[in-house]
Amino acid sequence: MHKTMTPLIGMQALRGSRGPTRREVLGGMLAASTASLGLPRMARAADARISYVGWEGYDSAFTAGGFLEQNGAELDATYIAATEDIITRLRSGGMGTVDITSFNHLYNPLMGEAGLIAPVKTDQMTNFDKLLPQFRDMATEADGTCYGIPLTFSSCALLYNPAMVSAAPTSWKDFLAPEYKGKVALFSDALTNILVWAPVATGVADPTRLTKAQLDETVDLLITLKKEHVRAMPASLGDGAELLIQGEVAMIMGWEPMVIWCREKGVEVSIAKPEEGTWAFVDTLNIATDAPNADLDLSLIDHAISADAQAEFGNANLLGIVNAEAVGQLSPELQELYGFDNLDAYFEHAHIYPRMFPLEPEGDFVTYDQVLDGYDRFLRA
Amino acid sequence: MAAASLLELRGLTRRYGTMTAVQPIDLAIRENDFFAILGPSGCGKTTLLRMIGGFVQPSDGYVLIGGRDVTRLPPDKRPTGMVFQNYGLFSHMTVRQNVAYGLRLRRRPRAEIGAEVERMLDLVHLSPYADRPAKDLSGGQKQRVALARALILKPKVLLLDEPLAALDLQLRKAMHQELLAIHEAIGGTFILVSHDQTEVMTLANRVAVMSGGRVAQEGSPTEIYDRPADPFVARFIGDANLLPARRTGGVILLGDGAPPIPSPGADAAVDVMLRPEALRLVAGHGSGLRAYIEQVVFQGSHVRVHCLAKQAGGAEMRVTATLGRDVLPAGSGQGAAVSITWAEGAPLVLPAGA
Amino acid sequence: MRMPDAERAQLRREGLKTALLMAPAVIVFIGLFVAPLAWFFVQSFWRNATFRVVPDFQFGNYATAFRDYGGVLLRTLGTGLEVGGITTVLAFFFAYAVRFALGRAGPLILVIALTTLFGGYVVKVYAWRSLLGLDGILNGALMAAGLTDAPVEALLFNAGAVTVTLTHYLLPLAILPLYGALADMDETVIAAARDSGASAPRTMFDIVLPQIRPALIASFAMSFLLAAGDYVTPALVGSPGNAMYGNFIQSQFGLRMNTPLGAAMSFSLLGCCLLILATVWLVMRRVLRAR
**Domain identity same for A241 and A107:** no
**Domain identity same for A145 and A245:** no
Strand partners, A185: A232, A252
Q: Is residue A68 part of a domain?
A: yes
* Residue contact C51–A6, C-beta within 8 A: no
| Domain coverage including residue A246 | 154-279+359-380
CA distances from A287 to A99, A149, A307, C85, C116 (A): 6, 9, 21, 52, 48
Chains that touch A (3 or more CB pairs under 8 A): C
**Which site among C195, C204, C216, C288 would you substitute to test the B interface, given the most B Cβ atoms closer than 10 Å to its Cβ?**
C195
Residue A30, pLDDT score? 35
Measured between beta carbons, which residues in chain B are less than 8 angstroms from residue C209?
Answer: none
Report the domain count for chain A: 2
Q: Is residue A10 part of a domain?
A: no
Prediction ipTM score: 0.79
> What residues contact A55, with CB distance under 8 A and at least 6 apart?
A16, A18, A79, A80, A102, A283
Q: Residue B160: which pLDDT band, with cuts at 50, 70 and 90? A: very high
**Domain identity same for A260 and A333:** no
Q: C236 and A239 in contact (C-beta within 8 Å)?
A: yes
**Domain identity same for A100 and A205:** no
Residue B98, pLDDT score? 94
CATH architecture group of domain C64-287: Orthogonal Bundle (1.10)
CATH number of the domain to which A161 belongs:
3.40.190.10
**Domain identity same for A263 and A374:** yes
**Domain identity same for A42 and A147:** yes
**Domain identity same for A147 and A203:** no
Q: What is the arithmetic mean of pLDDT over B245-265? A: 88
**Domain identity same for A75 and A215:** no
Give the C-alpha separation, C137 to C155, whole Å.
11
Give the C-alpha separation, B18 to A262, whole Å.
61
- Tell me how close the Cα of C254 comes to any Cα of chain A, in angstroms: 6
Residue C76, pLDDT score? 93
**Domain identity same for A230 and A288:** no
Measured between beta carbons, which residues in chain C are less than 8 angstroms from residue A5?
Answer: 121
| C188: contact with A, CB 8 A cutoff | no
For chain A, the straight-line distance linking the first and the last C-alpha, in angstroms and rounded, comes to: 29
Give the C-alpha separation, C220 to C80, whole Å.
10
Q: Is residue A14 part of a domain?
A: no
Residue C122, pLDDT score? 78
| C279: contact with A, CB 8 A cutoff | no
Give the C-alpha separation, B304 to A54, whole Å.
93
Give the C-alpha separation, B269 to B249, whole Å.
12
What is the overall mean pLDDT for chain C?
A: 88
Q: Residue C115: exposed, middle, or buried by beta-carbon count in 10 A (0-12, 13-18, 19+)? A: exposed
Q: Which residues of chain A have pLDDT under 50?
A: 1-44
**Domain identity same for A274 and A375:** yes
pLDDT digits 0-9 by tens, B68-126:
999 999 999 999 999 998 889 999 999 999 999 999 999 999 999 999 999 999 988 89
Partner residue opposite A376 with nearest CB, options C122, C239, C248 = C248
Higher pLDDT, residue B328 or A49: A49
Residue C45, pLDDT score? 94
Domain definitions of chain C by residue range = 64-287
Q: Residue B22: which pLDDT band, with cuts at 50, 70 and 90? A: very high
- Tell me how close the Cα of C111 comes to any Cα of chain B, in angstroms: 25
Q: Is residue A138 part of a domain?
A: yes
Q: Is residue A222 part of a domain?
A: yes
Concatenated DSSP letters of A235-253: SSHHHHHHHHHTTS-SEEE
Residue A141, pLDDT score? 64
Q: Residue B4: which pLDDT band, with cuts at 50, 70 and 90? A: low
**Domain identity same for A27 and A120:** yes
Q: Residue B331: which pLDDT band, with cuts at 50, 70 and 90? A: low
Q: Is residue A27 part of a domain?
A: yes
Give the C-alpha separation, B101 to B88, whole Å.
13
* Residue contact C196–B97, C-beta within 8 A: no
**Domain identity same for A45 and A136:** yes
